[in-house]
């Protein structure tokens, strides 16, 4: 875990439990906590230099978010996501990404395309170096940015909550180095579709990428992406 958060006591606008919850989510995102790991109430209380009450509150919030499970007389454990929940999460993610693609397409500018090209370059560099520790957060950031660019605050909120729950699945996928080449190709297809500013093409590219992410996870055959089209002039 990171160094103790001494600033917890001076932050007045947010509860200690919220800050503890976010720190634990960060540990899960980074892979420092994985499915099946037991969370110690006492250890976290000592780490954050707080009483156990906000730790228990944070654990309850994480349980509601689907990230941990509370077992009576045993403790709190990081959840393992299995079928059919994995398929359900990916299907919901595909629906949200498809929606984001339709909303983002008419908002695309040359500046946005340049920014996304930068994301693609950084992802390619990390993949070329075989640095999955760098690739994983870049991949998360790229997709989060696509949704963020829609400007739809409700969509962004729901998307991020869903992604928090999917981190265990996605980390296993990329840490094993599976499918990064295919994933990058699909990222390029998404940006190419965005350059056309055609909502249906963008939606199809984003849905195909999520569906293929699930297929890479489960070893199924990949679905073809949308037919490529010449990009419209950026501006």
pLDDT in tens, 93-109: 999 999 999 999 999 99
- Closest-CA residue to 152 (of 82, 103, 213): 103
| 165/177 Cα distance (integer angstroms) | 21
For the chain, the structural domain boundaries read: 6-78, 85-218
Asked if residue 199 has pLDDT above 60, the reply is yes
The region of weakest confidence among 80-94, 96-110, 155-169, 212-226 is 212-226
Residues of the chain with pLDDT > 90: what percent?
55
pLDDT, averaged across the chain:
85
Q: Do domains 6-78 and 85-218 have the same CATH topology?
A: no
Beta-carbon neighbour count of residue 55 at 10 Å? 26
Asked if residue 153 has pLDDT above 80, the reply is yes
Query: Whose structure tokens read 């949704």?
Result: 147
pLDDT interval class at 180 (50, 70, 90): confident
The values of phi and psi at residue 131, to 5°, are -95, 85
Q: How confident is the model at residue 168, as a pLDDT?
A: 73
Q: What is the mean pLDDT of residues 140-151?
A: 98
Say if residues 17 and 58 touch (Cβ distance below 8 Å): yes
Q: What is the mean pLDDT of residues 202-224?
A: 84
- Closest-CA residue to 190 (of 172, 207, 171): 207
**CATH architecture for segment(s) 85-218:** Up-down Bundle (1.20)
CB within 8 A of 156, min separation 6: which ones? 147, 148, 150
- Per-residue pLDDT reduced to its tens digit, 105-141: 999 999 999 999 999 999 999 999 988 888 988 999 9
Asked if residue 210 has pLDDT above 80, the reply is yes
Q: Where are the alpha helices (DSSP H) in 30-131?
A: 41-48, 52-64, 85-104, 110-128
Q: How confident is the model at residue 8, as a pLDDT?
A: 47
Asked if residue 178 has pLDDT above 70, the reply is no
pLDDT interval class at 230 (50, 70, 90): very low
Q: What is the mean pLDDT of residues 148-174?
A: 85
Burial class of residue 2, CB neighbours in 10 A (0-12, 13-18, 19+): exposed
CATH class of 6-78: mainly alpha
- Per-residue pLDDT reduced to its tens digit, 22-49: 999 988 888 788 888 999 999 989 988 8
Say if residues 48 and 8 touch (Cβ distance below 8 Å): yes
Q: How confident is the model at residue 177, as a pLDDT?
A: 53
Dig out the tokens for 145 from the structure.
């940015």
Q: What is the mean pLDDT of residues 9-13?
A: 45
| 66/88 Cα distance (integer angstroms) | 13
């Amino acid at each position: 875990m990171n160094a103790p958060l001494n600033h917890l006591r001076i932050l007045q606008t947010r509860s200690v439990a919220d800050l503890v919850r976010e720190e634990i989510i960060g540990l899960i995102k980074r892979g420092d906590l994985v499915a099946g790991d037991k969370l110690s109430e006492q250890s976290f209380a000592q780490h954050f230099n707080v009483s156990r009450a906000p730790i228990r509150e944070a654990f309850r919030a994480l349980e509601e978010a689907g990230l941990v499970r509370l077992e009576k007389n045993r403790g709190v454990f990081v959840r393992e996501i299995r079928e059919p929940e994995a398929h359900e999460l990916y299907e919901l993610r595909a629906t949200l990404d498809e929606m984001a693609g339709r909303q983002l397409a008419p908002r695309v500018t040359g500046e946005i395309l340049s920014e996304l090209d930068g994301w693609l370059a950084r992802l390619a560099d990390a993949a070329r170096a075989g640095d999955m520790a760098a690739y994983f957060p870049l991949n998360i950031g790229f997709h989060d940015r696509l949704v963020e660019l829609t400007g739809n605050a409700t969509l962004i909120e729901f998307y991020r909550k869903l992604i928090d729950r999917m981190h265990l699945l996605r980390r296993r996928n990329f840490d094993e180095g599976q499918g990064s080449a295919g994933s990058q190709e699909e990222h390029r297809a998404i940006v190419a579709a965005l350059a056309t500013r055609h909502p249906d093409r963008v939606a199809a590219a984003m849905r195909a990428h999520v569906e293929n992410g699930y297929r890479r996870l489960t070893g199924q055959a990949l679905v073809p992406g949308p037919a490529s089209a010449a990009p419209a002039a950026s501006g």
